[in-house]
Structure 1
């Protein structure tokens, strides 16, 4: 009986959570189709099989809706990559492919990301809290992957994984902006080159080359 009572108490919350996720997914689909400029509460309500008052109850402004779309995008990508359960690995060939896919297949999502990144500097804007959460989540994932590469001898053992992760995130943000200035720019390769330099992999491979028999100094 006690378990049933707890279940009833969780019921409305669970329904509300599912409704919010459905609305966020509808926004993300509209972004993919029209770009963030084409998102309206009427279209969101239709896509989420809801009403405009319900949409606005959960997300009071368009900016809240757009932030929710990015949040939903992050969750979907995390499910695919396994970053939250430790399945992700920093394979540089895969990283190159993922980065290039991100700037080609999801151009409209990236434009939304860049737009909200700028809005995050405005006090009280919903994007500010989102980017704080996103940065912490990304730092944890990248720090873990760098630590694994240190154990495997693929990253300099003296690195601070978190500090290096922050540098890699800053590099990626800059590469995204470079992509919008030059659509032929190879973001994936530039990211891989940057990761190799920032993690000391170039140094490790150069040292290994010097230590090969017949090549030592």
Structure 2
């Protein structure tokens, strides 16, 4: 019997899983390198040769983890999402997301133009069901809608959002609003972060009927006399 075969069952299971951590670290190293290239010069400059030179990882190993360029680009954005989630503590922040935090997130997203361009490219690829971008964006959009649904529900509890509105449908509309504004931002150099913030917040007020809620609050004030 080999040394591994002589080990207890639990030990053998640990031995079999021993390569998982190094493999995950290798994937993150590759994804981090791709993200740096995207930020520096755009997704068009991502190549296996360049990644191999910058990381010292053999090309065969890179292709083992990410068999195509599309897999590399998706892996980079998944890695970026995980970094943003940790930095801004998004999972716990969403239900009670403040306007200041929302402003910070908007400006952070807009400051990373090359990543916005990459996301636009991936959304085009996502129309192909067998492309890795399809599953990635389906999961990402579903998670985003879930976050906004929680926030919209909280706004309804606070009396800020109209009670008759469906929170999930409103969340889907908010996501569509943001994606449309991003496309306008990438095409129109006259749109800056301040304008984008104002446009998004105006859209949010319309989608949640916040203006109507504020009007009702105004009418209920004792000094108004109605």
TM-score, length-scaled by structure 2: 0.88
Secondary structure at the counterpart of residue 17 of structure 2:
helix
CA deviations over 1:159-214 (Å, ceiling 9, x no partner): 22211111100000000001012122222221111112212222211111111123
Bigger Rg, which one: 2
Q: How far does the alpha carbon of each residue in 1:96-151 deviate from its partner, in whole angstroms, 9 at most, with x for none?
A: 33213321x20011111111111111231211111111111111111112222222
- Gaps (5+ residues) in structure 2? 1-7
Q: 1:3 to 1:158 in 2, by over 3 A?
A: farther
Are the structure 2 counterparts of residues 49 and 152 from structure 1 closer, same or farther at C-alpha, using a change threshold of 3 Å? farther
What secondary structure, in the 3-state scheme, does the structure 2 residue paired with 1:15 have? helix
Q: Aligned to 1:60, what secondary structure does the other structure show?
A: coil
Cα shift at 1:3: 4.7
2:201 corresponds to which of 177, 192, 205? 192
2:29 aligned with 1:22, yes or no?
Answer: yes
> Aligned residues, how many?
215
**1:189, 1:49 → 2: CA distance?**
45
| Cα RMSD, aligned residues only | 1.7
Give the Cα separation in 1 of the matches to 2:124 and 2:130. Answer: 13
| 2:140 aligned residue (123, 130, 134) | 134
Q: Which residue is 2:104 aligned to?
A: 97
Where structure 1 has 5 or more consecutive residues not aligned to the other structure, the ranges are none
TM-score by length of 1: 0.91
Is 1:111–2:117 an aligned residue pair?
A: yes
**C-alpha spacing 1:213/1:66, structure 2 compared with 1 (3 Å):** same
